[in-house]
Amino acid sequence: MNMRYPVRGVPAARLKYGLPPLFALCLLCAGVLAGTVRAQSITPLSLPPGFSDDSIITGLLAPRAAVFTPDGRILVLERGSGTTNDQNTASVRVFKSGQLLPDRALTLDVCGDSERGLLGIALDPDFATNGYVYLYYTRQASQGAACAYNYHPDPTGLVGPRNRVSRFTMAGDTIDPASEIVLIDGIVTSVGYHNAGDLHFGQDGYLYISTGEGGISSLAATNDNLNGKILRILPGNGPAGGYSTAGNPFDGAAGARLCGVDLVTFGNGPCREVYGLGLRNPFRFALRPGTNDLYVGDVGGGVWEEVNEMKSGGGNYGWPEREGFCSNGTLCSPPYSTPPSYRDPTYAYAHVDAGANVDSA
């Protein structure tokens, strides 16, 4: 499979720290920063002057995500390893000096059925010094157990596959599998879809993480779990791992806890990691350069697709009660009526106008 990027005209800072996505979401180019609008129709857009659309990497097995290193390499997440496309194996590949290196930087056991697998990657702001790589992937709840597919109704994430965020250390073109430090664990993936999985560092040095509601829509609406959310953590340095959540909306709330660490007392108090909630499957998001402002593409259900602007304080974006500007499952017309506890999307379009929202840039 080819990877295609607009490789000419990309700002240097974005090449260093950002991720030109696998599929560019033209909504952001079409006025997402201009305010809340509804798309009446979506027509193909031409690339602006100074950009070109070229294939630069070939020979990949189902790439999921990619990130640029400070020295210009590209790390690519790939389903399978070597000559096999085994869904329960995933790899990190290195594109260097114009070539895709034949040796994998890392091969990882995952649960890869449905939409699960190795889904997201981010580099530490001090990657050039510490070599830290952060990965979002799906693993069986019991280490070493075979992947159990399909439906697992246990909302605690203790039964069946679960999503996690881990830190690895890279040296040269190799990631040491023994260096894994699990940071956040137990993110529910009950039916295989709605895993989200994007990772980005903000200007504040915090790691922002998108999670889907795991096929249990009610999880998105409450702050006592990690699903259907944007999470925000400050990873610790050194072998101990760990993270802090200072400045998050529920960090100092009564009974607040680190839900990515405390997997047993599910539902007993708000999760300190939660930054924004009420999201269905925010598969990809982007940060506005030089800020901590997020633009979150949320894959819709029956009617609407969304791009949500998320600034300090996060906010609640209404799923599963709200979709787009409307009540869930309805196609409403202006003027829109939004409960004060919810935030409207910055941009939304109906399924009657175009396809699904799968990315952001």
For the record, the structure tokens of 127 come out as 């990657």
What pTM does this model have? 0.85
Q: What's 238's domain CATH number?
A: 2.120.10.30
Q: What is the pLDDT of residue 263?
A: 72
Q: What is the pLDDT of residue 289?
A: 92
Could you tell me if residue 357 is inside a domain? no
Could you tell me if residue 360 is inside a domain? no
Could you tell me if residue 355 is inside a domain? no
- Listed in sequence order, the residues at least 6 apart from 277 whose beta carbon sits closer than 8 Å to its beta carbon are 220, 221, 222, 223, 228, 229, 230, 314, 315, 316, 317
Predicted confidence pLDDT, tens digits, the chain (361 residues)? 555 433 333 333 333 333 333 333 333 333 333 334 444 455 667 888 988 888 889 989 889 999 999 999 999 999 877 667 788 899 999 999 999 999 999 999 999 988 999 999 999 999 999 999 999 999 877 666 667 665 566 666 566 788 999 999 999 999 999 999 999 998 988 888 999 999 999 999 999 999 999 999 999 999 999 999 999 999 998 787 899 999 999 999 999 999 998 776 666 899 999 999 999 999 999 999 989 999 999 999 889 999 999 987 889 999 999 999 999 989 998 888 888 899 999 999 998 765 555 555 5
Q: What is the pLDDT of residue 133?
A: 99
How far apart, in whole angstroms, are the C-alpha atoms of residue 294 and residue 310? 5
Q: What is the pLDDT of residue 153?
A: 60
Could you tell me if residue 56 is inside a domain? yes
Could you tell me if residue 12 is inside a domain? yes
Q: What is the pLDDT of residue 43?
A: 66
Could you tell me if residue 359 is inside a domain? no
For the chain, how far is it from start to end, CA to CA, in angstroms? Answer: 21
Q: What is the pLDDT of residue 24?
A: 39
Could you tell me if residue 202 is inside a domain? yes
Q: What is the pLDDT of residue 157?
A: 56
Could you give the number of structural domains in the chain?
1
Could you tell me if residue 209 is inside a domain? yes
Q: What is the pLDDT of residue 226?
A: 95
Q: What is the pLDDT of residue 352?
A: 77
* Structural domain for 92, as ranges: 3-350
